[in-house]
């Protein structure tokens, strides 16, 4: 658990611990774990640095807030994540908690700086992104950010003048190159073992191609062999899955040479020792063996193909290369899978039964049970309950007996992946409390890259019978088409509550009656007030004052404090304007020289761009943000300086757009650039 870091000048802090799931107050102790996820501050006119939950930080500039204004930050608790989580494509994943920022001031007159931590990712094959949903809007958009490397834990920094909901995500890293009709020889930067050679006139027209690498770890191979032993029995080793994706499907007129890495720990010493290494390509019909002559080096294999697609290099058992297509097909769909567990934890208090339904990797099972046991929870494992048909013994009961059930363990193992979702319901002798969020949403979703994936709510008996209760939580996976995977992921958690616990739940505490208090008769003599002689009132003396001269009044009313003028930045250099300008003027390093930035700063930004694989537009955006921060004046002088720099580097049209937007108090948008270019083309 992280605690917020509070700056020493935080005298106006207001911390709110009021989060709850809408149930009665007896649950407060069980919800204390989430109380630290919300803080509120009153920065005042001076602003300052403020600590936010989970190690996040907030910087408020001077003059943004008044005395009574406040700003708050809440991290969505794991059980409430469904309220705020964005809908992402299959290749994008959450890697931070969801931060919700609100303020009494809307919109903000100046930008605030927010630093958000995220959980570590595989930066070799993935890149981070920030998504935001602005206040009073419904659509999630990508938000520009700076990647901070000077902190102990990874984090990003936002400079925003609008508040809302923000979260850090990551996507697979891509590298693009262009193929022309005159041929192409491209050596990938992501891996020195990957290259593509396109001969002259092999392509009908110019196109772009993207390279993407999906690693397959030894654990994933081992897990695939455990679940699919027949398809993967002949597989010995496998490389990464390498995508060479053109922006349109084409078949080359001449063969294209593709160089790929061999599987890890596999080296070829001579041509005769490589008969068990195969290259597979994914075509419309599925994975197929590339049946051409292979050319080997010690760590790579080169083959000729007619299509650029998804490739994989495998090492099989002797004379078993033809069976590798089925094995790679299994591995392809299991790159993100791992053994999972779903479990119910219940804390039985006298008047409240608090339930936590959680999904987690199987290797965390023992530690999770021990952790919840320390908090007073009992755990319930997966079971399937199949009701037997009742036998008619021609006996009559006042109340029919409960149906006997035959319990059978669920298959020992099943797999989970990021985004896997179940719908669940509470049935049999138990039901969910009507005040809990169970009535609003009945989904449990697994977040692979976040610490916890759970739901919390209160359960209670369905009837008032004081007997042993047997309930169930039934979970059905959503969006799973594979019958085998669907059956393994469909489960029920059987919950048994003993009779003593049920009696304690319905037990009514007897409140002793208070003894009657005898009323004493009041002594009326005490209420009588003696007569008091009152003298006649005299007229009070009112002193007379001479009126003060106007000069004296003016001197007394004059204030000694200088007038505070809040400067606002020009709309032509807001974060959004600079982002659009950087897309139109990608020559960031040249612009930095004309803006008189220090050589050390330019060099540092250049090296940072190379190491992180940033585009030229991203480099320009970082340079413009750095330049703007160093400027005290962010209006006329700053706009004039930027326009002069653009003219000096030959971008007169960009300088004209910046000055016109500043004059009209508008932000720089792509539409303004397109209108300018059309006017220039006409003239």
pLDDT of 61-71, one tens digit each? 999 999 889 99
Q: 576, 660 in Cβ contact below 8 A? A: no
Write down the pTM of the prediction.
Answer: 0.66
Mean pLDDT within 2-20: 38
Ramachandran quadrant class, 554 (left: phi over 0; alpha: psi -120 to 50; beta: rest) = alpha
Arithmetic mean of pLDDT over the chain:
82
Residues paired with 13 in a beta bridge: 41
Query: What is the reported pLDDT for 533?
Result: 56
Q: What is the pLDDT of residues 290-316, one digit of tens each?
A: 989 999 988 999 999 999 999 999 999
Query: What is the reported pLDDT for 522?
Result: 62
At residue 334, does pLDDT exceed 60? yes
Domain with CATH 2.60.220.30 in the chain: 35-171, 174-334
Q: 238, 278 in Cβ contact below 8 A? A: no
Cis ω for the linkage preceding 132 (within 30 of 0): no
Mean pLDDT within 408-431: 80
Q: What is the DSSP letter of 610?
A: H
- Site of tokens 């007038």: 563
Domain with CATH 2.60.40.2660 in the chain: 337-386+413-506
The 3-state DSSP class for residue 318 equals coil
Q: What is the pLDDT of residues 653-667, one digit of tens each?
A: 888 888 888 888 888
Q: What is the pLDDT of residues 136-146, one digit of tens each?
A: 899 999 999 99
Q: What is the pLDDT of residues 219-256, one digit of tens each?
A: 888 888 888 888 888 899 999 999 999 988 888 999 99
Query: What is the reported pLDDT for 401?
Result: 43
Neighbours of 448 (CB within 10 A): 19
* Per-residue exposure over 163-190, b if at least 16 CB sit within 10 Å of its own CB, e if not: bbbbbbbbeebebebebeeeebebebeb
Mean pLDDT within 80-93: 92
Query: What is the reported pLDDT for 341?
Result: 92
Query: What is the reported pLDDT for 543?
Result: 67
Hey, which CATH number is domain 35-171, 3.30.2350.10, 3.30.70.250, 2.60.220.30, 1.10.10.60? Answer: 2.60.220.30
Residues paired with 180 in a beta bridge: 183
Query: What is the reported pLDDT for 10?
Result: 41
Mean pLDDT within 75-102: 93
Mean pLDDT within 585-606: 85
Query: What is the reported pLDDT for 437?
Result: 84
Q: Who contacts 166 (Cβ-Cβ below 8 Å, separation ≥6)?
A: 98, 99, 101, 114, 116, 130, 131, 132, 133, 143, 158
Question: Please, which pLDDT band fits residue 129 given cuts at 50, 70 and 90?
Answer: very high
Least confident of 318-327, 349-358, 393-402, 420-429: 393-402
At residue 20, does pLDDT exceed 50? no
Distance of alpha carbon 71 from its chain centroid, rounded? 22
Q: Who contacts 482 (Cβ-Cβ below 8 Å, separation ≥6)?
A: none
Hey, which CATH number is domain 174-334, 3.40.50.920, 3.40.1360.10, 2.60.220.30, 3.40.50.1000? Answer: 2.60.220.30
Query: What is the reported pLDDT for 517?
Result: 63
Mean pLDDT within 458-463: 92
Query: What is the reported pLDDT for 2?
Result: 37
The CA distance from 195 to 211, in Å, is 10
CA distances from residue 272 to 296, 313, 334 in whole angstroms, order as listed: 10, 17, 33
Question: Please, which pLDDT band fits residue 521 given cuts at 50, 70 and 90?
Answer: low
The CA distance from 390 to 489, in Å, is 29
Q: 115, 154 in Cβ contact below 8 A? A: no
Least confident of 154-163, 488-497, 626-635: 626-635
Phi, psi of 499 (to 5 degrees): -65, -35
Share above pLDDT 90 across residues of the chain, in percent, rounded to a whole number:
43
The CA distance from 197 to 185, in Å, is 4
The CA distance from 510 to 504, in Å, is 13
Phi, psi of 183 (to 5 degrees): 95, 175
At residue 402, does pLDDT exceed 50? no
Question: Please, which pLDDT band fits residue 358 given cuts at 50, 70 and 90?
Answer: very high
Q: Who contacts 649 (Cβ-Cβ below 8 Å, separation ≥6)?
A: 587, 590, 591, 594
Question: Please, which pLDDT band fits residue 393 given cuts at 50, 70 and 90?
Answer: very low
At residue 13, does pLDDT exceed 80? no
Q: What is the pLDDT of residues 550-581, one digit of tens each?
A: 777 777 777 666 665 555 788 888 888 888 88
At residue 486, does pLDDT exceed 80? yes
The CA distance from 158 to 625, in Å, is 11
CATH of domain 337-386+413-506: 2.60.40.2660
Q: Who contacts 18 (Cβ-Cβ below 8 Å, separation ≥6)?
A: 38
Neighbours of 499 (CB within 10 A): 12
The CA distance from 515 to 445, in Å, is 56
Q: 641, 595 in Cβ contact below 8 A? A: yes
Query: What is the reported pLDDT for 395?
Result: 42
In terms of Cα–Cα distance, which of 471, 469, 470, 439 is closest to 455?
439
Q: Cα(first)–Cα(last) distance of the chain, in Å?
A: 64
Share above pLDDT 70 across residues of the chain, in percent, rounded to a whole number:
82
Distance of alpha carbon 551 from its chain centroid, rounded? 64
Q: What contacts 24+ positions apart, CB below 8 Å, involve 405-413?
A: 405/470, 407/383, 407/494, 408/383, 408/384, 409/382, 409/383, 409/384, 410/382, 410/383, 410/384, 410/488, 410/491, 410/492, 411/488, 413/226, 413/227, 413/339, 413/362, 413/488
Query: What is the reported pLDDT for 55?
Result: 92
Q: Name which residue leads in pLDDT, 460 or 14.
A: 460
HSE, CB side, 13 Å, CA atoms: give it for residue 619.
24
Q: What is the DSSP letter of 400?
A: P
Q: Name which residue leads in pLDDT, 413 or 513.
A: 413
Q: 116, 158 in Cβ contact below 8 A? A: yes
Domain with CATH 1.10.533 in the chain: 571-681
At residue 370, does pLDDT exceed 90? yes
| Tokens encoding 554 | 């003016």
Hey, which CATH number is domain 571-681, 1.10.287, 1.10.533, 2.60.40, 1.10.1740? Answer: 1.10.533
């Amino acid at each position: 658990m992280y605690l917020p870091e509070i700056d020493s000048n935080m005298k106006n802090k207001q911390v709110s611990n009021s989060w709850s799931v809408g149930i009665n107050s007896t649950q407060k102790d069980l919800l204390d774990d989430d109380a630290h996820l919300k803080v509120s501050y009153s920065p005042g006119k001076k602003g300052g640095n403020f600590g936010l939950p989970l190690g996040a930080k907030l910087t408020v500039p001077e003059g943004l807030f008044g005395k009574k204004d406040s700003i708050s930050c809440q991290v969505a608790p794991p059980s409430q994540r469904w309220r705020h989580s964005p809908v992402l494509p299959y290749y994008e994943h959450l890697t931070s908690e969801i931060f919700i920022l609100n303020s009494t001031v809307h919109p903000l007159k100046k930008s605030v700086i927010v630093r958000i931590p995220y959980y570590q990712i595989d930066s070799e094959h993935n890149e981070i992104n920030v998504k935001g949903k602005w206040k009073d809007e419904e659509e999630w958009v990508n938000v520009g950010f700076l990647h901070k490397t000077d902190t102990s834990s990874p984090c990003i920094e936002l400079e925003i003048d609008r508040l809302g909901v923000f979260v850090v995500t990551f996507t697979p890293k891509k590298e693009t190159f262009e193929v022309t009709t005159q041929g192409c020889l491209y050596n990938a930067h992501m891996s020195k073992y990957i290259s593509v050679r396109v001969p002259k006139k092999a392509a009908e027209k110019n196109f772009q191609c993207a390279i993407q690498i999906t690693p397959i770890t030894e654990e994933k191979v081992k897990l695939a062999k455990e679940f699919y032993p027949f398809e993967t029995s002949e597989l010995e080793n496998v490389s990464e899955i390498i995508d060479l994706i053109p922006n349109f499907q084409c078949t080359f007129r001449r063969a294209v040479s593709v160089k790929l890495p061999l599987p890890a720990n596999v080296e070829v010493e001579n041509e005769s020792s490589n008969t068990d290494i195969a290259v597979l390509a994914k075509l419309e019909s599925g994975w197929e063996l590339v049946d051409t002559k292979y050319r080997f080096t010690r760590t790579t294999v080169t083959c000729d193909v007619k299509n650029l697609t998804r490739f994989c290099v495998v090492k099989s058992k002797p004379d078993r290369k033809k069976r590798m297509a089925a094995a790679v097909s299994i591995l392809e769909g299991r790159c993100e899978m791992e053994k999972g567990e779903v479990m119910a934890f219940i804390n039985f208090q006298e008047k409240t039964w608090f339930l936590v339904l959680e999904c987690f990797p199987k290797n965390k099972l023992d530690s999770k049970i021990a952790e919840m046991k320390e908090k007073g929870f009992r755990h319930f494992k997966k079971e399937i309950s199949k009701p037997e048909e009742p036998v008619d013994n021609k006996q009559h009961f006042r109340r029919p007996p409960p149906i006997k059930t035959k319990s059978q363990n669920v298959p020992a193992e099943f797999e989970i992946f990021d985004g896997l979702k179940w719908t669940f319901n509470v049935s049999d002798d138990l039901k969910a409390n009507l005040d809990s969020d169970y009535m609003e949403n009945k989904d449990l979703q697994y977040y692979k890259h976040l610490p916890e994936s759970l739901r919390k709510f209160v359960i209670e008996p369905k009837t008032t019978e004081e007997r042993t209760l047997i309930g169930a939580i039934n979970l059905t996976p959503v969006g799973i088409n594979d019958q085998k995977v669907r059956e393994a992921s469909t489960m029920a958690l059987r919950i048994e509550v003993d009779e003593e616990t049920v009696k304690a739940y319905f037990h009514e505490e007897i409140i002793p009656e208070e003894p009657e208090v005898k009323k004493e008769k009041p002594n009326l003599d005490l209420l009588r007030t003696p007569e008091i002689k009152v003298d006649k009132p005299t007229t009070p003396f009112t002193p007379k004052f001479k009126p003060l001269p106007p000069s004296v009044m003016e001197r007394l009313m004059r204030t000694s404090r200088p007038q505070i003028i809040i400067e606002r930045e020009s709309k032509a250099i807001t974060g959004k304007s600079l982002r659009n300008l950087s897309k139109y003027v990608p020559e960031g390093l040249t612009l930095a020289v004309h803006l008189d930035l220090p050589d050390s700063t330019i060099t540092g930004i250049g090296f940072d761009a190379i190491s992180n694989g940033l585009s030229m537009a991203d480099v320009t955006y970082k340079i413009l943000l750095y330049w703007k921060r160093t400027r005290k004046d962010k209006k006329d002088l700053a706009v004039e300086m930027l326009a002069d720099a653009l003219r000096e580097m030959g971008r007169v049209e960009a300088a004209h757009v910046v000055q016109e937007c500043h004059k009209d108090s508008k932000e720089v948008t792509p539409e303004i650039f397109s209108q300018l270019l059309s006017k220039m083309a006409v003239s």
